Amino acid sequence: MKPRPAEAGRARFDIGEIVCAHRAQLEVEHPLTREQKRVLTDIGQCRTAALGGHVDQCPRCGYEHPSYNSCRNRHCPKCQALAQEKWIARRTERLLDVRHFHVVFTLPSQLRFLAKLAPREVFDVLFDAVKRTLLELGASRLDAFLGATLVLHTWTRKLSFHPHIHAIVTAGGLSLDGKTFRRMRGKYLFPVKVMGLLFRGKVLAGLSQLYAANAFAHVEHFDDPRAFAALVAKVAKLSWNVYAKAPFKDAKNVVAYLGRYTHRVGIANSRLVDVTDKQVVFRTHGEATTTLTPVEFLARLVQHVLPDGFHKIRHVGLYGSPKLDDARALVGSAHPAPRASRSTEDLLLDLTGRDVRYCPACLTLLTKLPLLPKERGPPIGAAA
């Protein structure tokens, strides 16, 4: 695969091109779900003639540039920047003007196989366990109702399967009687060992309830009636990983920081270092890289496709309750004045530094013309 010429703001390699070149072999070697097939189709077609678009034409100097439509799939690396900016604009208006903590809750490696086989069930249990851990500790230790935004990630920098939840949590909460806001002054939310113990117990209880309801009947590992009990007994002895960072100094930075997590996908085009028919090289940490065959790369990529309709961002406690208005009345908002809705062109100007409404050659307002049928290619890749 040849790298494209370097352009401002544009990566040299495209994951969509890897999909188009190697998807067929991937499907020979790996069975894919319906959701995974559709994601690959969308990534392969994103911003190509297959999805249609328009031509930007300058009436003054004759400049022309085709602009193709985006697939808007939440797993697509090219479709998240604008979605992230719009999400940040919406959430900023709801953010309480208090410090926030960043806490990460990780599913142990021994349970990852189950998350792959029953993702919706296991991830729902994971979310519920994190929510209940935080809210119960807030009530018991602060006599307060906390607020949190939870975001599920399933990957490492090497694209390995590693489910974990990022929680951005208010440093304090609305008192249980609703009359005051109890602020936390310390450097830490709650002891990580306490959070880990509660989190572990709630996840195992949730999984046990699902097992009793035959939610894992399709998991061959549990054909042995002793297997599930043995698994629970094994992971119950482990110290579960909960990582807590010091609080943010300024509430105004919280949403921008969180936005990096809410709309992040497993890998972006910008991390691709080299792509050939034999290998894909991508950055992991700093200057370190990982090298995979293209099929191995795609196989890792599709591990992180979520079930249809699954919400990977959830607001709990105050941030998911009408009581947020009561808390806001006591502490205010980070951005109390609602901001006017901004156009896609304005958001792109912020992200790229270029106003796409004007000709880059002579700065004349561009005219949008329909993309002629002959300029549109057939769908790329196999049908979903």
Tell me how far CA of residue 328 lies from CA of 146, 257, 315, 323, in angstroms.
13, 21, 16, 9
Tell me how far CA of residue 295 lies from CA of 21, 27, 74, 142, 298, in angstroms.
10, 9, 22, 51, 5
pLDDT tens for residues 105-164?
999 999 999 999 999 999 999 999 999 999 999 999 999 999 999 999 999 999 999 999
Residue 337 has pLDDT above 60, yes or no: no
- Cα separation, 324 vs 8, whole angstroms: 42
- Cα separation, 271 vs 294, whole angstroms: 15
**pLDDT for position 248:** 76
In angstroms, how far is CA 221 from the centroid of its own chain? 30
Q: In percent, how much of the chain has pLDDT > 90?
A: 68
Lookup result for tokens 């599913």: 107
Classify 325 as helix, strand or coil: helix
Question: Domain limits of the chain?
Answer: 15-75+343-375, 80-266+304-331
Q: Within a 10 A sphere around the Cβ of 293, how many other Cβ atoms? A: 14
Residues paired with residue 7 on neighbouring β-strands, in sequence order = 10
Listed in sequence order, the residues at least 6 apart from 377 whose beta carbon sits closer than 8 Å to its beta carbon are 48, 49, 50
- Cα separation, 78 vs 268, whole angstroms: 8
pLDDT tens for residues 38-91?
999 999 999 998 999 999 999 999 999 898 999 989 999 888 766 666 666 666
For the ranges 168-172, 300-304, 335-339, the one whose mean pLDDT is highest:
300-304
Residue 255 has pLDDT above 80, yes or no: no
Token couple for 268: 């972006």
